[in-house]
């Protein structure tokens, strides 16, 4: 069976307000707090998710041992044979939209918490607007089903 690898960052990336500090993604993933990851290459990751869900491949979750793309990957920390997906975009004001529904900027169900980050760190990570991408769900969570209507929201500047 084909294996696709997805890596989680061990530390916050250059340019992040907490650059170089540990992300805690591995622990958040293993505890079930990190329910998904966001990626910007929609076609590439969409194809992989479809292959995994068709039973043709699996997703191996790993963590970089140091600097992303410049260090080795730690051993596998998880494996998935079924994944969910939703498309997202960030508009020029920095507001998240998931499949036509705006993301509330507050509350326990906020996208950032399910990604394993505090909202301030989340928005510091995704601070380039506009941006489009895909949410790769490790669980059955789906945002587009939970929110019934678009919410008018004010942009948040951190």
DSSP string, 81-142: S--EEEEEEE-TTS-EEETTEEPPSSSTT-HHHHTTS-HHHHHHHT-SSSEEEEEEESSS--
pTM: 0.86
Q: Tell me: the pLDDT tens digits for 59-113?
A: 999 998 877 777 888 889 999 999 999 999 988 877 788 888 777 655 545 788 8
pLDDT tens track for 109-139:
578 889 999 888 988 888 888 889 999 999 9
């Amino acid at each position: 069976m084909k294996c696709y690898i997805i890596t989680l960052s061990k530390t916050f990336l250059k340019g992040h307000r907490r650059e170089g500090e540990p992300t805690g993604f591995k622990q958040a993933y293993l505890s079930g707090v990190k329910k998904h990851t966001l990626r910007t290459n929609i076609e590439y990751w969409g194809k992989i998710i479809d292959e995994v869900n068709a039973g043709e491949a699996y997703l191996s979750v790993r963590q970089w041992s140091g600097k992303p793309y410049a260090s080795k990957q730690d051993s596998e920390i998880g494996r998935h044979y079924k994944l969910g997906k939703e498309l997202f975009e960030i508009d020029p004001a920095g507001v998240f939209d998931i499949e036509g529904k705006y993301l509330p900027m507050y509350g326990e169900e906020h996208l950032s918490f399910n990604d394993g980050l505090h909202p301030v760190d989340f928005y510091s990570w995704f601070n380039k607007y506009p941006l489009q991408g895909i949410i790769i769900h490790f669980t059955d969570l789906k945002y587009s089903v939970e929110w019934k209507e678009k919410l008018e929201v004010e942009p948040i500047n951190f």
